[in-house]
Structure 1
Amino acid sequence: MKLLDLKIQSLTPEHLGELLELDKACFDGLWTMDGYRRELESPNSHFLGLFSPFSSSGLLGMGCFWSILEEAHITILAVHPQYHHQGLGQALLYSLLKTASDRGLERATLEVRASNDGAISLYEKFGFKTAGRRPRYYKDNEEDALILWLSDLQQPKFFKNLDDWYTIVSDRLCQSCWCLDMEDWS
């Protein structure tokens, strides 16, 4: 079985076109080009992309968090629908959390649609707990958002969890014929 290479890297303004295509495929136009440009240019924003040279889609997934004081606020996590259920979301979330920890951040938080069981399950696998609810947070349908929280990103137990998650994510990717070297996780 041949494994297909994956690469996670920081995104730059040169990736705007690919970001807009992925946004359209995942969210039907959640953010505008100006919105993505602001994210890419912000010193507090850490925007990662997941690429494979074997895909016609180019950018297979994206994840972003803002550094706010000691907190990583995850603003977006998306995988092209064509590549769902292959471990790519796990790889991106792992990489976001590792990046946040490497930058000295102490906690991570995010909002997720209360009905998005798949995303909630993914976040819970990585230790996120529900901390609250934002009523009618999503303007398109007035759906509530759950506020999820993960603390202690600078504690030895979290570093051990990172090692465990790396193994779990690598194994999951391998099951779907993907390969991502440890050196690419930064």
Structure 2
Amino acid sequence: MNSSIAVPFVLHAIAPEHLNAVVTLDRLCFGQLWSLEAYQRELDSPNSELLGLSLGEELVGFGCYWAIVEEAHLTILAIHPQYQHQGLGQTLLCALLDSARHRGLERATLEVKASNHRALGLYQKFGFLTAGRRRNYYQETGEDALVLWLKGLQSPQFPEQLSQWQQQSINLNP
């Protein structure tokens, strides 16, 4: 894949017409964590935010969080393997955190495989800290999950920090 792409990537809310593409991308990235019905439930829930990242008509990434009390629990973040290492995960994470901030949520949390060093690097770059470990969390492998937290989404400095992260992701994806 040529790293210079003329068509811009577009962030958008996932709509029902995107669900088949979401399931296809989920299957490609994760071996199908969620079913079509599960994604439909996310769309129907007022406590879920499901965002997509598209290149033209092609869905190349998506992410979701659940709004639980004052917390954004990030449940999934996927970028098509062909488009990884271009700052798109960072772009999508910025959008999810910005959405959570606009909802008035105070913090973000997630679980990530302890061996997923690329994802851990991204989350640590955003200031997520390890809060704990869930032993044998992933049933298919028995692997542990690290529980990560990010506080301060409502702090006065957070919008500027988000802007800086977004600018870095734009610089990675000219």
Shorter-normalised TM-score: what interval? over 0.9
Q: Percent identity?
A: 53
Correspondence list, 1:23-172, <5 A = 23-53=26-56, 58-172=58-172
* In structure 2, C-alpha distance between the alignment counterparts of 1:158 and 1:173, rounded to whole Å: 23
Aligned pair count reads 171
With a CA cutoff of 8 Å and minimum separation of 6, indicate the structure with the bigger relative contact order: 1
CA contact (8 A) 1:13 1:41 kept: no
* In structure 2, C-alpha distance between the alignment counterparts of 1:72 and 1:157, rounded to whole Å: 18
Give the stretch that moved more between structures: 32-41 or 65-74: 32-41
What's the secondary structure of 1:168's corresponding residue? Answer: helix
TM-score by length of 2: 0.94
Structure 2 unaligned spans of 5+: none
* In structure 2, C-alpha distance between the alignment counterparts of 1:91 and 1:2, rounded to whole Å: 16
Structure 1 runs of 4+ aligned residues shifted over 6 Å read none
How far has the Cα of 1:2 moved from its partner?
6.4
Name the amino acid aligned to 1:81. Answer: P
What's the secondary structure of 2:173's corresponding residue? Answer: helix
CA contact (8 A) 1:23 1:29 kept: yes
* In structure 1, C-alpha distance between the alignment counterparts of 2:19 and 2:158, rounded to whole Å: 33
* In structure 2, C-alpha distance between the alignment counterparts of 1:92 and 1:7, rounded to whole Å: 10
